[in-house]
Amino acid sequence: MNDMSAPRILTSEDQEHCVPVYVVWETTLACNLKCGHCGSRAGARRDDELDTPEALELIDQMAALGTREITIIGGEAFLRKDWLRLIERIAGHGILCTMQTGAYGLNEKMLKSALDAGLGGIGVSVDGREDDHDRIRGRKGSFRACLKALRAARDLGMVTSANTQINAISHPHLRAIFDVVADAGISHWQLQWTVAMGNAADNDDVLLQPYLVKPVMDEVAEIFKHAQTIGVTVRPGNNIGYFGKHEVMWRGGEQGGGHYAGCPAGHNAIGIEADGTIKACPSLPKERYSGGNIRDLTLEDMWKTAPGLAFNRQRGTDHLWGHCKGCMYADICHGGCTWTADSLFQRPGNNPYCYYRVDKLEKQGIRERVRKVQEAPDHPFAVGLFEIVEEPI
């Protein structure tokens, strides 16, 4: 039960019958941090967040559809007064409940209560060395709070992971960040690119330029090998792409799947906003990727009939464009993470944050940069518009 990775491994049956194995649930948009790269622009709670009976009923509906893991996020999930009741209900269905947190204000007593309620593990966001982390999270002391929470959770016997966004600030210090979180007792270190959404679209100088994907992932590969020697698993998030020489190492064999198999949004994953909006992925904008609201329709109805959730299930290659069109992995990868591409270009199917692509272009003497051409509006999950600039190396 306490294995954080096993429930998400997809069987053929899961894929062929679109079982919503994994749910990421923004239980509240309230947050005690002010992160410069926050895609949802969290801070104040939404006006119309689900109340406790509505939230509990939603959990029952997820269980009925075959969900095996629910990660509660925010905002900051523990700012909901009923957060322990939600964990208890999730665990009561035999579903692994995990929590993704900034950990500011998360103390040992709260962790013990969460563990007793059935929390299976926590993932703490650590986005840089102490000064960088505190600056980007908008709170002095937030870095130390992360480490304190990780150690407390470890001492309670919880499965702990750290999650780090790779961006222009963090990428030069990845090994130092890893050493600190490994010392705090994590079992997993999950990585993802910072995506051009919300505050990160406003502060676009934080974004990693795509041509740096290759040297950064080459370094991550070295960290991966070192991590194995001390019992820590380095796990690439869904937007860490794709193929190339390291794919077999971090997605093959012991990592559970064979290789990247395309975006699972709406196929085997669901995202939920605190007001009950059901989406294909927690990070996608509701304007284009919503199945409706749980106050109007059942989860089963939306899952089975809503086009906004179904776009990945029978996906071919027609939607691909740019260098993703014609790629040898096009029918497997489908352009990678929908969120990453859509946040840049307001449409999926072209993803410059791809190892194989960067490597291939590099061999042709070309590199890609992204450049903002339109600001994002001031609401949660807002996206601007970027363009790709190709230039000789």
Partner 1 sequence: MDLSTMPRGLRSPDLPLCLHCAEYIRTTDVPCPHCGQDPTQPGGRYKDEGFYARDALARLLDAMQRAAAAQPDK
- Contact positions vs partner 1 (CB under 8 A): 12-13, 15-19, 64-66, 243-245, 247-248, 252-254, 258-259, 261-262, 267-268, 303-304, 310, 312-315, 328-329, 332
Residue 4 CB, nearest approach to partner 1 (Å): 22
- Please give the Cα distance from 178 to 194 (Å, whole number): 17
Residue 16 CB, nearest approach to partner 1 (Å): 5
Strands in the chain per DSSP E: 22-26, 69-73, 96-101, 119-125, 159-166, 188-193, 233-236, 269-272, 277-279, 290-293, 366-374, 385-392
**In angstroms, what is the C-alpha Rg of the chain?**
20
Our CB check for partner 1 shows the closer of 20 and 39 to be: 20
Q: Which two tokens stand for residue 381?
A: 């999950």
Our CB check for partner 1 shows the closer of 289 and 381 to be: 289
On whether the CB atoms of residues 105 and 122 are closer than 8 A, the answer is: no
Our CB check for partner 1 shows the closer of 51 and 254 to be: 254
Q: Residue 146 is which amino acid?
A: C
Around 370, how many Cα atoms within 13 Å sit in the side-chain half-sphere?
A: 27
Closest CA to 120 of 216, 20, 243, 7: 7
Our CB check for partner 1 shows the closer of 215 and 258 to be: 258
The edge-to-edge listing of strands for the beta sheet with 22-26 is: 233-236, 188-193, 159-166, 119-125, 96-101, 69-73, 22-26, 269-272, 277-279, 290-293
Whole-angstrom distance between the N-terminal and C-terminal Cα of the chain?
49
Our CB check for partner 1 shows the closer of 329 and 345 to be: 329
Residue 317 CB, nearest approach to partner 1 (Å): 12
Our CB check for partner 1 shows the closer of 156 and 332 to be: 332
Residue 134, SS3 per DSSP: helix
Residue 262 CB, nearest approach to partner 1 (Å): 6
Residue 14 CB, nearest approach to partner 1 (Å): 9
- Please give the Cα distance from 311 to 328 (Å, whole number): 22
Our CB check for partner 1 shows the closer of 13 and 205 to be: 13
Residue 347 CB, nearest approach to partner 1 (Å): 21
Residue 114 CB, nearest approach to partner 1 (Å): 28
